[in-house]
Amino acid sequence: MDNLTVIKIGGNVIDAPDALKRFLTSFASLTGPKVLIHGGGKVATQVADKLGIETTMVEGRRITDQPMLDVVTMVYGGLVNKQIVAKLQALDVNAIGLTGADAGTVLAKKRPVKDIDYGMVGDIEEVDSGQIQFFLRQNLTPVFAPITYSTAGDLLNTNADTMASAIAVDMVRHNSVTLIYCFEKKGVLKDPTDDNSVINELTPALYAEYKAAGAINKGMIPKLDNAFKALESGVAKVVICHADELATAVNQGAGTTLKK
């Protein structure tokens, strides 16, 4: 069974050209099959502003009405995705840019309205890991933008952390999978104000303690929820680390490693 590395890169790194260049150079150096899932960064908000489309965020999540869906599809699935693919080609990585709609790889359903109406936001129902495996066998490196599709033929904006977890879990059918979340911090921090307070190993019990104390909060919670779900669903290893430490995390160890 092949060892597959599924990597998610955060939007703050995408927004910083030098940081993105370093990350993609490190990504290109990794041996073996790999899949990249990227966030959107601030470009969608900037484009929306230029078009006179208001951006609404609730608890760090974007409300996606139809005009905003058009923007995130253009930006995430078009501009950002193809810029990353082009940079990887220059690094001799034969990348193929995808959304979940392409080849039916990631099917979702529109999130039901409860306390908040998130609009055209998708909750993942199914991943076609066989199709992704087909791309890998052709020596292609899939690069996914966080856009999915529904059985009704609608495009849906989907959380990139969730997409990375879902892809990693379904790829367990074919590979031993390592899932790595890369972003601008050195890992999960005991003290959010101290970049050096990295928690080297995190268990569900410790996670609950840090959440209760308020040390782990906001956007880190859904990231960790997805990460632990992947670990519980058969992913061999889950790491959260700084984008500059990707190669070290894969080969030696860096950032925060999750344990059952």
97 among annotated binding-site residues:
no
Q: Tell me whether residue 40 is annotated as binding.
A: yes
3-state secondary structure the chain: CEEEEEEEECHHHHCCHHHHHHHHHHHHHCCCCEEEEECCCCHHHHHHHHCCCCCCEECCEECECHHHHHHHHHHHHHHHHHHHHHHHHHCCCCEEEECCCHHHCEEEEECCCCCCCCECEEEEEEECHHHHHHHHHCCCEEEECCEEECCCCCEEECCHHHHHHHHHHHHCCCEEEEEEEEECCCCCECCCCCCCCECCEECHHHHHHHHHHCCCCCCHHHHHHHHHHHHHCCCCEEEEEEHHHHHHHHHCCCCEEECC
> Is 22 part of any known ligand binding site?
no
To the question of whether residue 159 is assigned a binding role by annotation, the answer is no
The binding site consists of: 40-41, 62, 157
The binding site for substrate consists of: 40-41, 62, 157
